[in-house]
Each structure stands twice: as C-alpha cells, then as structure tokens.
Structure 1
Amino acid sequence: MRKRLLTGFYWLLAVEFIIGAVTKYWPGPTFFGPAYSVKFVEWGYPSWFRFVIGAVEFICAILLVIPRREYRFLGAAILIVVLTGATLTHLINQNPWWESTSAPTHLAIMLVIAWTSRPPDLLAWAKSLTKPIQTPSR
C-alpha cells in the first residue's frame, strides 16, 4: 500500500512539472498569469532561458517516475538546483506570496525525495558516472 501511495505521489509531482514545462513553452499568457517569455525578462533572465528550464523540468519529471531510485535521485537533485534558483528569483524580485510559494514548497519536497532516494553508496555511484566508457580492443 505504501509503495503505491509513493508511486502515485511521484506521478503527481511529474504531472505538475510537465505542466510547468509546457507552460514555459507556451507563447501567450498561461493560467498562471502572463507569458513566461515576459516573466523571465522581468526577472532579469533572457527570454530563451525559459526553454532551458522547461526542458530540464520535463526531463526531471520523467526521471521521477522511473522505478529505479538512482533515476529518481538524479531527477530530484537536478530539480533542487532549479528550484533553488526559482526560490531565490522570487525572493529577489519580491513577488507576491501566491506566486512565490510553489517553488520553496517543491524544493522542500525534492530535498526529501533526494535524501530518501539517494544511492546507498553515493560517492561510489557518482564515481561510476564519471568513468570513461571502455571500448573493446580489436
């Protein structure tokens, strides 16, 4: 039962991040307010940066629902970086509280997911990611 609830929770988060990614690609106003092309410029970023953030959110949403904990950890860890930037952006720009609560809330959730999904030997896992691929010699 617990595993099914967690799986449903991961899927709910993935859907939220996919919706967020799609709205960043949307050319006009969204149900969250003005177009992200306008918002990103108001926040001090280039307009095209919304595509980068949208792509990262989409990829991380997919990583969250893959059943292996290493993928879930990777998705949550990358989202921690993105959500930290989003939280700081909202604080620096002094956005109203109703626009500024989602990023820190999701940041806290991603911190918990990253911590609970971390590989047992995190350093060995990270080193395995950086090993060069060995090609068979002829």
Structure 2
Amino acid sequence: MPLTSLIMASHHMKSTHFDNFDIDEAANHVARKIVSSDAEFEMRMKFHTCDIMEVKEKLGEYDCIFLAALVGMSKEEKVKILGHIRKYMKDGGVLLVRSANGARAFFYPIVEENELMEFEVLSIFHPTNDVINSVVLVRKPIF
C-alpha cells in the first residue's frame, strides 16, 4: 500500500499529483479501490504495476520521490534500488526514504547514512513513539 503518498495527498499536498509504482498488481488494485470513493482524490493518484528497477527516464520527471520501507527487503537489494533511483532521478531532486532504526529493523531494513554517499543528506528522523518507520531525506546533487 502506498501509505506515504496517500497520507501526503490527503493531508499535506492537497493539489499534488502522485504516481505510485508497485510490483504487485493486487496491491495496486486495493489502492485504486481506496481512492475511487473520492473523484478528485482519484484523479491525483495513479498506480503503475512494474518493477521500479525497470523505471528509468520517468524518474527524472519528479521533484520528489518517496521510497517505501518495503521496497528492497534486504540490505543489498535496498542499496541497489537506491543506486538505480539516484542514477535516473532529476538532478537536485529530493528522495524521501522510509527506513528503520534499532529493534524496528526487525520489520524493515535499515538505510545507513554511509549507503547514501552519493546523495546530500538533508535530514534523518528516528521516531521514539509508536511509529515504526524512520525517515531519511536526501537530495541528488546538481552537476
């Protein structure tokens, strides 16, 4: 489920259009059903079924990309996906990576700051309440 974009679209970025990429068509089907109850919301949320590693030039169209915590369930896979996104995303674009910290790594792989060397790290936030995911905000440098 694209929880980050659903929350951002409904509470914070109320006029922004979101393209959501998921490898699982069943997940996209459920997400489409959720947004279909609101025509305006539905128009702003698009769902594409594909492997993010196959998305290339399209990544360069976005000012901001959200990478869900469940994308890349091993450290190696997550680092490979981060490299792919960095290669194709817009120079100066922002990437928000949902990660984990401490015991929360039981649920999601941790993205370490040293794995983001080719990004400018803007902020890292580790929640101390019931929220599981950490947030890592980075920018692709402009060359």
* TM-score, length-scaled by structure 2: 0.25
Higher helix share: 1
**Which of 1 and 2 has greater Rg?**
1
Higher strand share: 2
* TM-score, length-scaled by structure 1: 0.26
